[in-house]
Structure 1
């Protein structure tokens, strides 16, 4: 079985279907968390993390990497991160400064992407650190929700949740800086050639 066959224009693939399902889960998640249906919100977040892992793995392993998938996957990631951050802060499960720090990174990346487009690049190659940051954040969120409350489960989930959250926050910024450095090297490359 091929590891990668390049990027295709195919739309109807299993990885794209998983990404589309993740997108459809965002409004359901927001409704569940804002109406204090924490069990349902926890299930949706967990399934989002699992399908995020699976769509990329399946796409690479079976040569199903597509332009649509390259668009859907990061959009789904960002929507889950943004909606989860806002909902958790609204419910006072996380402090608002976490939202500000992560949104500042998104603003920083928007500038990096704009500069990349100005120089003719539609995007930068995905870096492992960026994937690791997203992984940590997508696993921190359900654990933070689980840690909200009393009892042994909440007490046990709290340090693990914040461990994932801190790693996610730090790696999110490290990835942003790496993307900026990567762009700087790409912009400088034609001048040195």
Structure 2
């Protein structure tokens, strides 16, 4: 129960198979769909699949918060679905040489670190920091970078490096907030 303290009691739901969580699960299902379409040579259509996944991310969060359907499972799966989709997209762009390996490595290091860190935090029963505006902004910036890359805009890779920098800054902010949150909880 200790790990769930970040979800207010009145908004916590015991049932995990609710609409927001089903939307989150649909993002996991969209990953192989994206990959099949992308490697089938339909890169712009694959980008539309990515946008659909992004829309489900917005929708599931909105429904969960406004309908009081926030669950511990959703809190854990939602960012995992985002990271897995982003890893699939970056891997596809790397394999097709649309991005340099150094950029892909930086993104993988950051995202895998966030996934492993989140799992460690979750299983240790620590409090987690909910998604904030910086995390959402970073996601939007990544989507724009992918759009620019898919449509071969001249500044796409430079912009991608900018977004990678923002994503690392966002990660450091999350780590700082996590440490502060758990230090305060321990002091109580």
Structure 2 length as normaliser, TM-score? Answer: 0.78
Aligned match of 2:111 = 106
Q: CA deviation at 1:16?
A: 1.8
In structure 1, stretches of 5+ residues that fail to align are: 149-154
Q: CA deviation at 1:57?
A: 1.5
In structure 2, stretches of 5+ residues that fail to align are: 1-8
User: What whole-Å deviation, never above 9, does each CA across 1:100-121 have from its counterpart, x for those lacking one?
Assistant: 1112223443564477468640
**How many residues matched?**
180
Given the alignment, which residue of 165, 174, 178 partners 1:170? Answer: 165
Given the alignment, which residue of 130, 136, 139 partners 2:135? Answer: 130
Q: For residues 77-92 of structure 1, what are the structure 2 equivalents within 5 Å?
A: 77-92=82-97
Aligned match of 2:11 = 6
User: What whole-Å deviation, never above 9, does each CA across 1:45-83 have from its counterpart, x for those lacking one?
Assistant: 111122111111222122222223223311210111100
Structure 1 length as normaliser, TM-score? Answer: 0.77
Q: For residues 1-193 of structure 1, what are the structure 2 equivalents within 5 Å?
A: 5-109=10-114, 112-113=117-118, 116=121, 120-121=125-126, 123-145=128-150, 147-148=151-152, 155=153, 159=155, 165-166=160-161, 168-189=163-184
CA RMSD between the two structures: 2.8
Q: Is the 8 A contact 1:140 1:165 kept in 2?
A: yes
